[in-house]
Structures are given as C-alpha cells and as structure tokens.
Structure 1
Amino acid sequence: MSTQIHLAQQPEADELLGRSPLAALVGMLLDQQVPMEWAFSGPYTIAQRMGADDLDAARIAESDPDAFGEVLKEKPAVHRYPGSMAKRIQQLCQYLVDEYDGEASAVWQDAASGAELLGRLKALPGFGEQKAKIFLALLGKQYGVQPEGWREAAGAYGEQGAYRSAADITGPESLAKVRAHKQEMKRAAKAAKKA
C-alpha cells in the first residue's frame, strides 16, 4: 500500500499515511474533537517520538501505558485529550495483535464485500458506525480498497463527488469544501434544535 495522501497537509506525515495501514487507522481514530490535519499528523508525530519511521502495533500494544501516554502528551500534544487517546490507540493496537497478527491491512485485505469490511471496521476499538463508514469510504476512494458494495456500505460517505469527510480530501481545495460542508451541517443542526 502506497498512495498519495493529503490528509495531514504535511508532506512527511502524509507520506507515512500513504504507506502505512496502521498510521491510516490511528489517524482516523484520532480524528475527533481536533482539526483533521492535527489528527492525521498524529501517527507521524508518534512514530518520530518513538524513534521509528513507522508505527508497529505490537510495540505500541506492549508499551508501558504511562510511557506511551507521555509520547502523546509531549508538547505539542498529539491530541486535545492525549491521555485518553493514548489508551484508545493501545486498545486498537492490542486488538490488531490479537485478531490480525498486528497487521492493520489484514482488516481489509480479504474482505469479500463492503458490508463485511464495514463490520470488521466497526469491531475495531474506538470505531463507531460513522467513523467506520468514513474510513471505509477513505479506503475505497483513496487506497483502492474496493470490495463489492463498498460505496453502499459507506453510505453517503461513499458517494462519488461528495465533500463530506476525510475520504474526500485530496488537497487544500477539497479540504475547504469538506470544512464548508461540515459548517453547513452544524448550522442546520442548530436551526433544527431551535425549531
């Protein structure tokens, strides 16, 4: 797996996301309550602080929780909530070790259908329905992982030509379109609450 990714909007971080399935999963896990670029640059920051050029699920899973927490807390912090995200990353990595021999790409490599892949993604610690659908759309649109029915399984995030999520970001212009869509959704939600 090696593809051109522009989620972090930083060449080194995006290069890691393009070649490392685990980095892509960790970036998606971090993508909550922080700007997307911050979340997706997190895997690169973690790898650098661990003295590695990639993330290793077994190494992260086996790390002392306090020491791994410090990796995320070091300034600038990897996330707004570095302690809780450190625990979630370790839980994700432990699950990958237990279920997929530590190989993140094994989650999707032999999925026979989009529905099966969605089920596997939803089983990952920290991945709910929406996050799983967004990541499925990201795999299909940017990583070439396209089991039969993947667009349908990803729901609205799988639509071609949409600008709804990380799955649709291929550069600064599409990032601006996704941000505009999210702001419009927030405005609509506020308006619905007032009605």
Structure 2
Amino acid sequence: MPVSLHLAQQPDADALLSRSPLAALVGMLLDQQVPMEWAFTGPLTITQRLGTDDLDAHQIARHDPDAFAALLSEKPAVHRYPGSMAKRVQQLCQYLVEHYDGDAAAVWRDAADGKELLARLSALPGFGTQKSQIFLALLGKQFGVHPDGWREAAGPYGEAGCHRSVADITGPDSLVQVRAYKQQAKQAAKAKRATKAAGPAK
C-alpha cells in the first residue's frame, strides 16, 4: 500500500522515506541526539551528495570510509556527530549487503511473526531494543507490516492510539502530541532521579 511519512516535515525528504525502505532505516539510525526532523532529512541529504535518486546499500557499503565521513560532514552536517554516524550508516549497509543482498525491505518482508521481526531489527548495527521496537511500530502502523504479534513485540510503542514515538507521527498535530509525551517522560525521569538522589525521608 502507498506510504506517506511525515517525519522530516519536508516534502522531498518525506517522499524519499516513504518510497525507500533503506532511507527509512537510515533515518531511524540517525534519530538520536538530534531533532527528529534533522535525522530524517539525513537520507535525502546523503542521496543528494552521492548524486543519486535513491540510497543504495551496495554503493554506501563499498564507499571509501573517509570520503563518506567527509560527505556527511559537509555543511550543513547530516548529524551532530557526522563522523561516527557515517561509520554506523556504512556498517548498517554492509550488514544489509551481507545478510539481505542489500534489500532493506527483506528485513521484514517474510518475518514469521513479531518476535522474529524484532530479532531481525535488533541484529542491525546501531539498533538497540528501543530503536528496534519503535521501528517495528512504525512498520506496523504506517507501512502495513503486520506479522502475528507485531504490537506485542513493539512493546508500548505498538499500542494503538498512543503518541509515544515517530511511529505515531502522521502530521503536525501528532508531532506536537509526541513531543509533549516525550517532555512529560523526561520530566518524570528527572523527578525520579532527584527523589532517588535525595534518599529515603527521615
């Protein structure tokens, strides 16, 4: 089914994410320590600097590492830490080439169930459990990828009607709701740390 993502909040970048499974994976990989829009615009920026119409795992995997890091470091940089993220993007693409012949969608295309899909995502370089669950939720909620038990495998991010992550962003309104949820979660975690540091009341 046609996919229409709104994660970069920029038409050309979102169009690439919507049509390219590899771009969606790379955007998810970049989504840490930078604003979401910056991260998910990254795949388009990389594509433009490579002079191509789409991302190609084989091309990125065999690219000279220093040259690729320089490409991501050009102003405006693709990430706050372009050198380290260039390495991670190449590692991701090398893994996809080795295990899926460079076909990013093959990661989820024939997964038997949600548990297997989560295991496949968690095996990708740079994808920890939380990132894997969020991407699994994105696949289920917006890409129509529904292996048995996908919501359960995605944990709290798979819950219907919630606004916890990029999986729930479908436009400006939902973006505001997700940002509000994250701010509340951050404040709650801060309060919990403060309480713990203060020790038990005497």
TM range (shorter): over 0.9
In the TM superposition, residue 2 of structure 1 has moved relative to its aligned partner by: 4.1
- Cα RMSD, aligned residues only: 0.7
Q: Which residue of 2 aligns with 1:108?
A: 108
Return the alpha-carbon distance in structure 2 between the equivalents of residues 46 and 194 of structure 1.
Answer: 41
Q: What's 2:70 paired with?
A: 70
Separation (CA, whole Å) in 2 of partners of 1:130 and 1:2: 26
Displaced runs of 4 or more, over 3 A: none
Deviation at 1:194, TM superposition (A): 1.0
Which amino acid is the alignment partner of residue 102 of structure 1? G
Which residue of 1 is the match for residue 22 of structure 2? Answer: 22
Amino acid at match of 1:22: L
TM-score by length of 2: 0.96
User: Given that residues 151 and 158 in structure 1 are in contact (C-alpha distance below 8 angstroms), is that contact kept between their aligned partners in structure 2?
Assistant: yes
Flag structure 1 segments of 5+ consecutive residues without an equivalent: none
Counterpart AA for 2:181: H
Give how far 1:98 is off. Answer: 0.1
In structure 1, C-alpha distance between the alignment counterparts of 2:59 and 2:158, rounded to whole Å: 33
1:150-195 per-position Cα deviation (integer Å, ceiling 9, x unaligned): 0000000000011000000001110111000000011001100111
Letter in 1 for 2:48: Q
Structure 2 gaps, min length 5: 196-202
Verify: 1:166 aligned to 2:163, yes or no: no
- The alignment partner of 2:32 has SS state of coil
What does residue 187 of structure 2 align with? 187
Mapped partners of 1:169, 1:71: distance in 2: 29
Q: Matches of 1:12 and 1:42 in 2, distance apart? A: 11
Please list the CA deviations of residues 42-91 of structure 1 after superposition, one character each: whole Å capped at 9, or x if unmatched.
00010011001110000000000011001110000000000000000000
> Does the CA contact (< 8 Å) of 1:57 and 1:103 recur in 2?
yes
1:152 and 1:45 map into 2 onto residues whose CA distance is 34
- The yes-or-no answer on 1:129 pairing with 2:129 is yes
Aligned residues: percent identity? Answer: 73
State the match for 2:51 in structure 1. Answer: 51
Q: When the two structures are superposed, what TM-score results if normalisation uses the length of structure 1?
A: 0.99
CA contact (8 A) 1:17 1:24 kept: yes
Per the alignment, residue 96 of structure 1 pairs with: 96
Residue in 1 that maps onto 2:198: none
Which amino acid in structure 2 is aligned with residue 139 of structure 1? L
Given that 1:38 and 1:79 are in contact with CA atoms closer than 8 Å, whether structure 2 keeps it comes out as: yes
Bigger radius of gyration among the two = 2
Q: Which residue of 2 aligns with 1:83?
A: 83
